[in-house]
Each structure stands twice: as structure tokens, then as C-alpha cells.
């Protein structure tokens, strides 16, 4: 469940990187790997639109972060990548900073090849996908070359906007609340209603709604009543 926070709104998808029995496996050539199912409380798919802001792996060699989008019928396509990073064997590598848009239902994985490796654990109820050659962004959907039992050692942190309640706040307090909730401040409009002080009387997205941190949240502000003579 996504819950409001006074600080950054984030959710981790993919492996928690703590399962026992992780062991390195080579990519065997240019390929994309990702988790498609994980036991709770882990989750493979993003529960919300947002932005991948960092990622971690257990592996070695050069790895490239990738968002993977289901296209129906058991097929997938690439939906965005970040800069490749060098993972070091012997433990968790990262967090690596990045900025990749992601939608609810998307998966997160990595591309690798050559001498690169990614660790996998024999976790019950976990499934991972193997695509060779590596997926390409916006290409027609393809089925994975392999669907395997086990947990790939890759995770991502997704930042999102959990829209705060703006009604009743001053315009500046509304902006501050949006910034604190990792929301993009949308346009401010003047309403016809007059009140003793300027305050938000309407917002474009209902409070408590989870949206991408790139989605603008606008609001309407009342007009101040003139002072009585």
C-alpha cells in the first residue's frame, strides 16, 4: 500500500537483495533480465507511475538499468534506460542514481553481456525473465527466451507523488505541500469565490491519489474579500 509521507514518497520494487543463496550467473551474451514475480512483501511490478531514481544489484561487470513494459500476451518491450554502471562482485553494488520514467505495472531489470554477471537465488514463488538479445525501447513486444524459477538480484527505488490535501491552504502553503510530497506544482487559477483570505478552494487531482512525480497538480484560489469601509 502507498501511504502519505512528510518526506519523499518512494517505493522499492524488485529484490530486497537479502534472500539466502544468491550465486552469480553469466549473461551469456547481450541480454535483459528482470523479476516478473516475487513473494510478498517484495513486488516485481511498480504499483504506481513515477520515476526510477536509484537502483542496486548483486553482480559484476557493466550493467545498464532498464524499465520493461508488458505489451500483452506474455510479451514485453523496453520502456527506458539509464547510464550503464560497473558492479563489483562480492556484495551489493549501488545505489546508482538515475532518472527513468516508469508506469504502474512496469518491471525493472538490467541489460548485460560479455563478462557481466547477475546473481540469482532459489527463492520460492519467484520468477525471472531472460531476453536475448537485449530488449530495445519502443520495439514490438517479444516473449522472453527463458522464464525461470528464482529471484534476480536487482532492485529499484521509484519516486512518486501522493497528492496532499490542498483545500483550505494558502497558495504558498499549497506549493510547499506539493514540493514536500514530490509533486509537480501545476498552474494556479483564480476562482470567483471570495473569502477573508486567499485560500485553495479546488485542486485538479483528488487528495490521496498516487500519480507520477512528473504530473502537474494545479489548484484554484479564492479572491480576497474587500475590506469594509
Residues 28-69 have pLDDT tens digits of 999 999 999 999 999 999 999 999 999 999 999 999 999 999
Q: What is the enclosing helix (H) or strand (E) of 177?
A: helix 171-180
Decide: 107 and 35 in contact? Cβ < 8 Å.
Answer: yes
Model pLDDT for residues 159-200, shown as the tens digit of each residue = 999 999 999 999 999 999 999 999 999 999 999 999 989 999
Summary count for the chain: helices (H), strands (E): 1, 17
Q: What are phi and psi of 128, to 5 degrees?
A: -125, 155
pLDDT at res. 4: 43
97-142 pLDDT, tens per residue? 999 999 999 999 999 998 899 999 999 999 999 999 999 999 999 9
**pLDDT at residue 2, as a whole number:** 53
In this prediction, residue 90 carries a pLDDT of: 85
Gap between the Cα atoms of 96 and 114, Å rounded: 21
**Which CATH code of 1.10.10.60, 3.40.630.30, 3.40.50.300, 3.30.10.20 fits the domain covering 163-224?**
3.30.10.20
Classify strands 184-195 and 151-152 as parallel, antiparallel or unpaired.
Answer: unpaired
Cα atoms found within 13 Å of the Cα of residue 139, Cβ hemisphere only: 13
Residue 15 reports pLDDT greater than 80? yes
Q: Does residue 149 carry a pLDDT above 60?
A: yes
Residue 1 pLDDT greater than 50, yes or no: no
Predicted TM-score (pTM) of this structure: 0.89
**Model confidence at 148: pLDDT above 60:** yes
Sorting pLDDT into bands at 50, 70 and 90, what band is 23? very high
Which pairing describes strands 216-224 and 184-195: parallel, antiparallel, or unpaired?
A: parallel
154's grid cell: 536487482
Cα 157 off chain centre by = 6
For range 74-87, the mean pLDDT: 97
Amino acid at each position: 500500500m502507498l501511504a502519505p509521507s512528510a518526506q519523499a514518497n518512494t517505493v522499492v520494487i524488485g529484490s530486497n537483495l537479502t534472500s539466502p543463496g544468491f550465486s552469480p550467473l553469466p549473461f551469456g551474451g547481450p541480454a535483459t533480465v528482470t523479476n516478473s514475480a516475487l513473494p510478498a512483501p517484495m513486488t516485481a511490478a511498480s504499483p504506481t507511475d513515477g520515476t526510477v531514481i536509484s537502483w542496486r544489484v548483486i553482480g559484476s561487470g557493466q550493467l545498464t538499468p532498464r524499465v520493461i513494459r508488458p505489451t500483452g500476451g506474455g510479451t514485453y518491450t523496453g520502456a527506458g534506460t539509464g547510464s550503464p554502471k560497473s558492479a563489483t562482485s562480492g556484495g551489493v553494488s549501488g545505489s546508482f542514481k538515475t532518472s527513468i520514467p516508469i508506469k504502474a505495472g512496469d518491471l525493472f531489470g538490467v541489460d548485460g553481456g560479455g563478462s557481466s554477471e547477475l546473481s540469482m537465488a532459489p527463492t520460492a514463488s519467484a520468477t525471472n525473465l531472460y531476453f536475448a538479445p537485449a530488449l530495445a525501447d519502443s520495439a514490438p513486444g517479444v516473449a522472453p527466451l527463458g522464464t525461470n524459477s528464482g529471484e534476480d538480484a536487482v532492485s529499484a527505488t521509484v519516486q512518486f507523488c501522493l497528492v496532499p490535501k490542498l483545500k483550505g491552504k494558502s497558495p504558498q502553503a499549497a506549493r510547499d505541500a506539493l514540493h514536500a510530497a514530490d509533486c509537480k506544482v501545476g498552474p494556479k487559477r483564480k476562482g470567483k469565490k471570495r473569502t477573508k483570505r486567499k485560500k485553495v478552494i479546488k485542486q485538479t487531482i483528488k487528495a490521496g491519489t498516487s500519480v507520477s512525480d512528473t504530473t502537474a497538480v494545479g489548484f484554484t484560489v479564492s479572491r480576497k474579500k474587500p475590506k469594509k469601509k
